[in-house]
Amino acid sequence: MICPKCGHQRTPADQHLPDGICPACGIAYAKFIAARDALGTTSAATRLQSEEVLSRTESLLRILFYTPERVDAITLGARALTLLAFGVWTFRFMATGGDWTAISQSFLHSVNLPFHEFGHLLFSPLGRFMTILGGSLFQVLVPLIVLIAFLRRPDPFAAAIMLWWAGQNFVDLSPYISDGEYRGLPLIMGLGEDSHDWGNLLTMMGIVDQAYRLGRLSFYLGIGLMLLALGWGGWLLWLQKQRLS
């Protein structure tokens, strides 16, 4: 028997020692071999898991940055102008600082409002809390759902615009959340303070005193998503420019 650890080979002088023990380093042959094989199996499994994660990451990156084989100048130019317009729009929202009057005057507020109201109805079977939250939740979910649909086409540039819209919805909600403690904003159809979504939600959670901080968080999260979407769209246009017909 040759020791699998130190390489010592048993000699007749070692006969007085148990057969399963190495006279030189003292290990039990069987236990050492079993532990080594188990470690090898674990390492192989870890390697396979790492390769699987890497493969999934590469697949996701291919989807997020998909570029068609041929790109025409008209399409590229139109997308560049679109991205420029959304960039200007982003900075205009940033300049509002979360002010309700400025944000509510954007036509996007009127676009988001029907989704908000439908969200209350959609989530109503899940109880009062989800009924109230459903309005804000659904208006954020709508662009994210459309984003996934565009990625499946695949059209990642359109998906980037949907990410921008999702961020804008967080900006749109920010003054409403900030007003949760004081409930001073006018509500649709002249509804009273008892119908203030975020006043009710934060009161139910016992954190109504955090309304302003949460509103600011929503505003900055929205701006961050909008800037991320612009960066994503800009990188896609650069990739497409490399394949300009």
Spell out the domain ranges in the chain.
12-59, 69-241
Q: Please report, to the nearest 10 degrees, the dihedral formed by the alpha carbons of residues 157, 160, 164, 169 taken in order.
A: 120
Is the sign of the CA dihedral 136, 208, 186, 125 positive or negative? positive
Note if the bond before 68 is cis, omega within 30 degrees: no
In tens digits, the chain (245 residues) has pLDDT values of 777 767 777 778 777 777 778 777 777 878 877 877 777 666 666 666 666 766 777 777 888 888 888 888 888 899 999 999 999 999 999 998 888 888 888 889 989 999 999 999 999 999 999 999 999 999 999 999 999 999 988 899 999 999 999 999 999 999 999 988 888 878 777 777 777 888 889 998 888 889 999 999 999 999 999 999 999 999 999 988 887 76
Helix (H, G, I), strand (E, B) or coil at 244: strand
Give me 102's structure tokens. Answer: 């400025």
Q: How many C-beta neighbours within 10 Å does residue 241 have? A: 13
